[in-house]
Each structure stands twice: as structure tokens, then as C-alpha cells.
């Protein structure tokens, strides 16, 4: 059992990603102020769930991809302010980048 739930196990990330996918899909289909095609909003929520799945292995890359996804949502799809999952994404990705990223590339946004 300890091997399944080790620090670098995919199991916790897969559970959180599945929650993000389900709640994100429900959120995107139920949003009263939805903008853009439904299928693109659903695809964005699934991309967010996929980023959550790999956030601890590629922290900096997924952090930047998350910010790009938020920008795409804000520019052409349903605003992240209307959806609930981007708020939780800010918490998850901010922590993952702060805890796992290292080297000069991780300090680039603060320079």
C-alpha cells in the first residue's frame, strides 16, 4: 500500500484531476454567463484536468500552461471569474510551482 501512495504517486493526482474534470464539466455546462461554443468550454475544462494530473512532474511547464489556459478562457470563452475550477487551479498550480520548480527559469517571472 505504501508503494501505491508514495510521494510521487499518480493516484492522488488522478483523483484530483477526475474531480476537476467532473466539476469543471458541470460548471461549464451550467454557467449562466457562458460564452463561446460549449465544446470549446468543455475542452478547456478537460485540458485543465490534464494539467492537474501532471502538475507535480512538470511544475513550471504546467504552471505556465495553466496561465495560458486562463488567458484563453478570458479572451474568447467563459470568463474564469464565472467558473469555480480556475480558482482552485490558482491554489494548486501556485503551490506546485513554488514547491517543485527550481533553477533560473523558475525565478523569471519575479525578475
Query: How far apart are alpha carbons 88 and 6 in whole angstroms?
Result: 23
- Residue 4 within any structural domain of the chain: no
What's the pLDDT tens digit per position in 62-98? 888 988 998 988 888 887 878 888 888 888 877 777 7
- Indicate whether 19 belongs to any domain: yes
Choice between 94 and 4, residue whose per-residue pLDDT is larger:
94
pLDDT reported for residue 49: 92
Q: Is 0.85 topped by the overall pTM?
A: no
* Number of domains into which the chain is organized: 1
Q: Does a structural domain hold residue 33?
A: yes
Instruction: Convert the chain into a string of H (helix), E (strand) and C (coil).
Output: CCCCCCCCCHHHHHHHHHHHHHHHHHHHHHCCCCCCCHHHHHHHHHHHHHHHHHCCCCHHHHHHHHHHHHHHHHHHCCCCCCCCHHHHHHHHHHHHHHHHCCCHHHHHHHC
- Whether 62 is covered by a domain: the verdict is yes
108 within some domain? no
Better-predicted residue by pLDDT, 95 or 39 = 39
Range of the domain at 36: 10-101
Tell me, yes or no, whether 5 lies in a domain.
no
Amino acid at each position: 500500500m505504501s508503494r501505491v501512495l508514495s510521494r510521487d504517486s499518480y493516484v492522488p493526482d488522478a483523483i484530483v484531476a477526475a474531480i476537476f474534470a467532473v466539476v469543471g464539466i458541470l460548471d461549464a455546462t451550467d454557467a449562466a454567463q457562458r460564452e463561446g461554443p460549449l465544446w470549446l468550454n468543455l475542452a478547456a475544462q478537460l485540458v485543465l484536468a490534464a494539467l492537474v494530473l501532471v502538475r507535480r512532474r512538470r511544475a513550471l511547464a504546467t504552471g505556465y500552461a495553466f496561465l495560458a489556459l486562463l488567458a484563453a478562457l478570458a479572451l474568447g470563452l467563459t470568463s474564469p471569474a464565472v467558473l469555480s475550477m480556475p480558482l482552485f487551479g490558482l491554489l494548486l498550480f501556485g503551490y506546485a510551482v513554488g514547491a517543485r520548480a527550481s533553477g533560473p527559469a523558475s525565478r523569471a517571472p519575479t525578475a
